[in-house]
Amino acid sequence: MCGITGFVAAPGAAAPAPGVIERMTAAIAHRGPDGDGFHVEGGVAFGHRRLSIIDVAGGDNPLFDAEGHVAVMFNGEIYNHLGLRAELEQRGRRPRTGSDGEVLVHGYLEWGIDELLRRVRGMFAFALHDRRDGAVHLARDPLGIKPLHLHVDGQGLRFGSEAKSIVAALGKRPALDTRGLFESACLGFILAPRTIYAGIESLPPGHRALYAEGRLTLTRYHRLAFEPGREVADPGELWSRLSTAVDSHLMSEVPLGAFLSGGMDSSAVVAAMSQVAEGGVNAICVGVEDEGLDERPFARQVAESLGVTLFEESARSDLADLLPRLAWHLEAPFADTSAAPTWLVCEAARRHVTVTLSGDGGDENFAGYRRTRYDVLEETWRRRLPGWLRSGLLGPLGRVWPQSSWLPRPLRAGTLLRNLGDDWLNAYVRSMTRVREEQVRRILRPEVCPDEPLRASFEPAASAAQDLDPLSRVQSMDFATWLADDILVKVDRTSMAHGLEVRVPLLDTDFVEWAAGLPGEAKLAGGEGKALFRRALRGQVPDGVIDRPKQGFHLPVGGWLRGDLRERLAEILTESAGPAFDFVDHRRMERLADEHQAERADRSGELWMLMTLDAFLRHGPGGPQEGGPLASEPAAVGTAP
Which of 2, 186, 285, 346 does the annotation list as catalytic? 2
Coarse DSSP helix, strand, coil percentages of the chain, rounded to the nearest 5 percent:
45, 15, 40
In 3D space, the residue among 160, 115, 109, 164 whose CA is nearest the CA of residue 138 turns out to be 160
Measured between alpha carbons, how far is 7 from 5 in angstroms, rounded to an integer?
7
Distances from the Cα of 2 to the Cαs of 37, 76, 148, 167, in angstroms? 11, 7, 12, 19
Give me the long-range contacts of 479-482 (CB less than 8 A, separation at least 24).
Answer: 479/143, 479/224, 479/364, 480/205, 481/191, 481/432, 482/364, 482/432
Question: Within its chain, how far is the Cα of 448 from the centroid?
Answer: 26
| Cross-strand pairs, 47 | 5, 38
Tell me the CA distances in angstroms from 259 to 340, 453, 634, one per residue in order: 15, 38, 18
Which residues does residue 258 pair with via DSSP β-bridges, in sequence order? 283, 357
Pairing mode, strands 63-64 and 156-160: unpaired
Strands 201-202 and 149-153, by their bridges, are antiparallel
Cross-strand pairs, 311: 284
Residue type, 189: F
Q: Can you tell me the distance from the alpha carbon of 416 to that of 404, in angstroms, rounded to the nearest whole number?
A: 14
What CA–CA distance (Å, rounded) separates 370 from 373?
5
Annotation marks residue 449 as catalytic = no
Burial (CB count <10 Å: 0-12, 13-18, 19+), residue 144: buried
Residues classed as catalytic: 2
